[in-house]
A and B are shown apart, each in its own frame.
Chain A
Amino acid sequence: MKTNKKFSVTKQNLWVDLLIAGGFLLAAQPHLTGMAIHEWLSLGLGVGFLTHILLHWRWVFETTRRLFGKLAGQARVNYVLNLALLVAFTLIIFSGLMISEEVLPLLGLQGVHGGVWKSLHTLAAEAVVWLVGLHIALHWKWIVTNSKKYLFGWLPKRRQAAVKPSEAAV
Chain B
Amino acid sequence: MNTNKKQRKASFWLVLVGLLLLVGLVSGGVYLLDDQGLISLGGEMAGERPSLPEMSTTADGDTFLPPTRDHDEAGGFSGAGLLGLLKTVVQLGIVVVALTGFQRVYARLANRWGRAPAI
Question: Which A positions have Cβ atoms within 8 angstroms of B?
Answer: 25-26, 28-29, 31-33, 54, 57-58, 60-61, 64, 86-87, 90-91, 94, 98, 112-116, 119-120, 129-130, 132-134, 136-138, 140, 170
Tell me which residues across on chain B come within 8 A of A138, comparing CB atoms. Answer: 99
Nearest chain A residue, comparing its CB with the CB of B48: A115
**Contact between chains at A28 and B88 (CB < 8 Å):** yes
Tell me which residues across on chain A come within 8 A of B26, comparing CB atoms. Answer: 91, 94
**Contact between chains at A137 and B88 (CB < 8 Å):** no
Tell me which residues across on chain B come within 8 A of A29, comparing CB atoms. Answer: 81, 84-85, 88
Asked if B41 is an interface residue, CB under 8 A from chain A, the answer is yes
How many interface residues does B have (CB within 8 Å)? 41
Separation of A119 and B81 alpha carbons in the complex (Å): 20
Interface residues of chain B: helix, strand, loop or mixed (majority): helix
Question: Which B positions have Cβ atoms within 8 angstroms of A?
Answer: 7-8, 11-12, 15, 19, 22-23, 26-27, 30-31, 34, 39, 41-43, 45-46, 49-50, 52, 55, 77-78, 80-82, 84-85, 88-89, 91-92, 94-96, 98-100, 104
Separation of A61 and B9 alpha carbons in the complex (Å): 9
Using known A-B contacts A115-B46, A116-B46, A119-B42, determine if residue A64 contacts B11 with beta carbons closer than 8 Å: yes
**Contact between chains at B84 and A28 (CB < 8 Å):** yes
Q: What's the minimum C-beta distance from A136 to chain B, rounded to whole angstroms?
A: 6
Separation of A98 and B30 alpha carbons in the complex (Å): 13
**Contact between chains at B50 and A134 (CB < 8 Å):** no
Tell me which residues across on chain B come within 8 A of A61, comparing CB atoms. Answer: 7-8, 11
Nearest chain A residue, comparing its CB with the CB of B95: A133
Separation of A64 and B96 alpha carbons in the complex (Å): 26
Identify A130's interface contact among B41, B52, B91, CB under 8 A.
B91
Q: What's the minimum C-beta distance from A31 to chain B, rounded to whole angstroms?
A: 5
